[in-house]
Chain A
Amino acid sequence: DTAVSQTPKYLVTQMGNDKSIKCEQNLGHDTMYWYKQDSKKFLKIMFSYNNKELIINETVPNRFSPKSPDKAHLNLHINSLELGDSAVYFCASSQDRLKGDIQYFGAGTRLSVL
């Protein structure tokens, strides 16, 4: 079984559309993250949730709204998609957000906005 699974793997859509990316982890971890990797392959944190509670919201436009229905899931909804949103989005999880534990990454979702 995949530890951290993201769907879909690829997402191609038009500007202005609304889309969601789903993430699930079966590791029993308390903390989940969303990262954005831009065209230069630079990773940057977007959000962090600990046991369904938002911990980090890193200067991300309001069009991005994370939702954590339970601690095993952290979904990312994006409204009114823009060209600049094209990137690879990675979900990750870790056991202890304060200790800097190893993070387990999903396979990534490549979003292309046309």
Chain B
Amino acid sequence: KNEVEQSPQNLTAQEGEFITINCSYSVGISALHWLQQHPGGGIVSLFMLSSGKKKHGRLIATINIQEKHSSLHITASHPRDSAVYICAVFQSKTSGSRLTFGEGTQLTVNP
């Protein structure tokens, strides 16, 4: 079982809908990242969280450290939001600190 689980794997929405993508993890972490991978393949970091909530434009990310859970919300979704959204947790290990990735959520927003 992957240390980082995302749901749903695929999500189709109509323009304007409120979208939630969930991420659960089973290991101790020092930070959690949300990444966006565009259809062209490029990866962009959206948020880095270690507690609470962050907001950037129409995107909101929350994390509950006790429950080992994070959510990414998109308000007033738009077709340009169509992408793969990836949750990644940052762990400090003796073998080297690193990001461990979820399998991604493919979001398609239809006009």
Tell me how many residues of B have a C-beta within 8 Å of chain A: 27
Among the stretches B16-24, B56-64, B69-77, B90-98, the one at the interface with A is B90-98
Q: Which residue of B lies closest to A41 (CB)?
A: B104
Q: With A43-B101, A56-B95, A100-B90 as given contacts, are A107 and B42 in contact (CB-CB < 8 Å)?
A: yes
Contact between chains at B103 and A48 (CB < 8 Å) = no
Q: Which chain A residues lie closer than 8 Å to B43 at the CB level?
A: 90, 92, 105, 108
Q: A43-B86, A88-B41 are in contact. Are A98 and B48 (CB under 8 A)?
A: no
Which residues of chain A have C-beta atoms less than 8 A from B41's C-beta?
88, 107-108, 110
Q: Does B107 contact A (CB under 8 A)?
A: no
Cα–Cα distance between A103 and B31 once the two chains are bound (Å):
12
B42: which A residues are within 8 A, CB to CB?
105, 107-108
Is chain B's binding surface mostly helix, strand, loop or mixed?
Answer: strand
Q: How far is the CB of B109 from chain A (nearest CB, A)?
A: 18
Q: Which residue of B lies closest to A54 (CB)?
A: B96
Flag if A98 contacts B92 (CB, 8 Å): yes
Residue ID in chain B nearest A43 by CB atoms: B101
Cα of A58 to Cα of B95 in the assembled complex, Å: 9
Task: Indicate if the CB atoms of A41 and B48 lie closer than 8 Å.
Answer: no
Mask of B73-84 contacts with A, CB within 8 angstroms, 1/0: 000000000001
State whether A103 and B103 are in contact (beta carbons under 8 Å apart), knowing that A56-B96, A56-B98, A97-B97 are contacts in the complex: no
Chain A interface residues (CB < 8 Å from chain B): 33, 40-45, 48, 55-56, 58, 88, 90, 92, 97-105, 107-108, 110
Interface residues of B (CB under 8 A from A): 29-31, 33, 35, 37, 41-45, 48, 50, 84, 86, 88, 90, 92, 95-101, 103-104
Contacts A/B (CB < 8 Å), 15 sampled: A43-B88, A45-B99, A45-B100, A48-B97, A55-B96, A58-B98, A99-B31, A100-B33, A100-B97, A100-B99, A102-B33, A103-B45, A104-B45, A105-B35, A108-B41
Taking A45-B98, A100-B50, A105-B42 as given, write out 9 further A-B residue pairs in contact, using a Cβ cutoff of 8 Å, ordered by the A residue number.
A33-B98, A41-B103, A58-B98, A90-B43, A99-B31, A100-B30, A100-B90, A103-B33, A105-B35
